[in-house]
Amino acid sequence: MLSKRLIACLDVRDGKLAKSVRFVDTRDIGDPVEKAREYYADGLDELVFYDITASSEKRNIMLDVVEKVAEQVFIPLSVGGGVRSVADATDLRLAGAEKINVNSAAVVRPELISECAEAIGDQNIVLSMDIRRVERSDQFPSGYEIVINGGRTPMGIDALNWACKGEKLGAGELVVNSIDADGTRNGYELTLTAMLAEAVRIPVIASGGAGKPDHLYDVLTTGRADAALVASMVHYGDYTVSELKKQLHDRGVKMRMSW
Amino acid sequence: MAVIIDYDAGNLRSVQRACAEVGLEAEITADPRRVSEAERVIFPGVGAAGSAMKSLCSTGMDVALKEVITSGRPVLGICLGLQISLDHSEESDQNTLGLIPGKVLRFRLDNPELKIPHMGWNEVRVVQSHPLLEGIEAGDEFYFVHGYFPQPQDRSNVYAVTDYESEFASAVGRKNYFATQFHPEKSGRVGLRLLASFKNWDGGC
């Protein structure tokens, strides 16, 4: 039986680790390569790097980070943040990323998904969606809207429609990131995650809001997610990767327990 | 020294890096002559069977690969490398290399909760011992990403199985050819162990 995955997300700015809280304030919390090694040794199932570097001149720093991590960490490595073209995706792949996350640029120009899928394979394209809760309406039948630019720009697109469209265009996986829950540590957005997981056939990664082991349990069961993404929970030493996995395993969630 | 066959079928550097980690130097090459001369060969790949076959055949790599296999030198297939070593793939209705009798079928799952592709970590159960599977214990999991699965005709070619609604062959082999549906290069310690065993394998079973 397939295991549920525990994924750690590392936000990287100018080559340093940062943790976003509701996407706005970020602060540096260390060396991404060192953290990646630590989590790998502790049984992490997959790593995501999100490049939040503001200036495009500093983008090569990220390629360096990816390259260093790929030399030492032998689990799937996913990278996103600022991917706007097939060339961006290919550069990251060559540096050692398995999967490429597309987000804002795909909302603006959806063909980016199919172009990347064609170039590097469906299964390697992850459509990352930032989503906020809105009033249910004709425009937003699901009651959720897609936002971009780290949550600042609402796009007038229904989240459920966008998820289905992304799957049709060739995305191999979805990240469902609730910007309402992100950084709150009050738990994932279960209703949203379950709704999208039921609507698509591709795997769904829940993101935003994890603060306690219970939250992971909830989203991997009630929330129907295939994987749970954590950040601050593990970055600040409140929990370790292996401890989270063990707790989930003890409660009957299928996890990879030997590494 | 090993060579990794480059035929536009995915990210080969992760395979190369994992080999380096276990002390196996591996050169990535698209040159069939380098493959013919190689001491041992890794045949990786992600992507679609149709375009992969086209690329292999147009460069003469298919012939080189068969030569190496006939000569008895160790060859390791990974993922798509495994799939196109059978006779036929349902993916783009493609005839493939025919190194092992059998076919590749698309997952057709009854349980709507099971996702396609089969993506993530899953248990690999050894059903027939093999030098490359040495040290793999019950409960060890490997990383998979695939929407099609191999179905060898003859059970004697199946070395490990994995469950995804039903059971499929996750490692196959015949003489000096061995192949995994999972990605040893992305499977942490257990995957590296398999690559280390490949480094020392003489091609016998």
Per-residue pLDDT reduced to its tens digit, A31-44: 889 999 999 999 99
pLDDT at A27: 52
Instruction: Put residue B120 in one of left, alpha, beta given phi > 0 → left and psi -120 to 50 → alpha.
Output: left
Which residues in chain A are closer than 8 Å to B117, comparing Cβ atoms?
Answer: 122-123, 172, 202-203
Lowest mean per-residue pLDDT among A100-104, B5-9, B37-41, B170-174: B5-9
Residue window 129-168, chain A: list those with CB within 8 Å of chain B. none
State the DSSP H helix or E strand holding residue A9, giving kind and residue range, or none if neither: strand A5-13
Q: Tell me the pLDDT tens digit for each residue of B67-87.
A: 999 999 999 999 999 999 999
What is the distance of C-alpha A87 from the center of its chain?
21
Q: How many domains does chain B have?
A: 1
To the nearest whole angstrom, how far is the Cα of A8 from the nearest Cα of chain B? 15
Nearest CA-CA distance, residue A25 and chain B, Å: 33
- pLDDT at residue A28 tops 70: no
Residues 6+ away with beta carbon under 8 Å from A55: none
The whole-number pLDDT of residue A55 equals 67
User: A45 in contact with B at a CB cutoff of 8 Å?
Assistant: yes
> What is the distance between the alpha carbons of residues B13 and B24, in angstroms, rounded to a whole number?
13
Instruction: Classify each residue of A61-87 as buried b or exposed e, where b means 16 or more C-beta atoms within 10 Å of its C-beta.
Output: bbbebbbbbbbebbbbbbbbbbbeebe
pLDDT at residue B32, rounded to an integer: 96
* Boundaries of domain holding B151: 2-200
Query: Taking all residues of chain A, what is their mean pLDDT, rounded to a whole number?
Result: 92
B20 neighbourhood in chain A, CB within 8 Å: 71
What is the residue-averaged pLDDT of chain B?
A: 94
Q: C-alpha B147: how far from its chain's center?
A: 15
Q: Which of these ranges, A12-26, A60-74, A78-92, A128-142, has the smallest mean pLDDT?
A: A12-26
pLDDT tens for each residue of B108-154: 999 988 999 999 999 999 999 999 999 999 999 999 999 999 999 99
- Selected catalytic residue, list A51, A91, A130, A218: A130
Q: Which residues contact A33 (CB under 8 A, 6 or more apart)?
A: A65, A68, A69, A72
Asked if residue B36 lies in contact with residue B59, where contact means CB atoms within 8 angstroms, the answer is no
Q: Is residue B205 part of a domain?
A: no
Would you say residue B71 lies in a domain? yes
A236 at the B interface (CB within 8 A)?
no
Q: Which domains occur in chain A, in start order? A: 5-250 (3.20.20.70)
Task: State yes or no: is B185 an active-site residue.
Answer: yes
pLDDT of B120: 97
In a domain, B99, yes or no: yes
Q: Residue B56 to residues A49, A193, B5, B63, B79: CA-CA distances in angstroms?
A: 34, 42, 10, 9, 16
B120/A3 touch (CB, cutoff 8 Å), yes or no: yes
- Give which of B172, B13, B98, B183 is closest to B4, Cα–Cα: B13
Decide if B183 is inside a domain.
Answer: yes
Q: Active site residue: B19, B118, B146, B183, which one? A: B183
pLDDT reading at A20 higher than 70: no
Domain of B101, CATH number, reads: 3.40.50.880
Residue B148 in tokens? 């099609």
pLDDT of A89: 92
Answer yes or no: is pLDDT of B179 > 50: yes
Q: Is residue B182 part of a domain?
A: yes
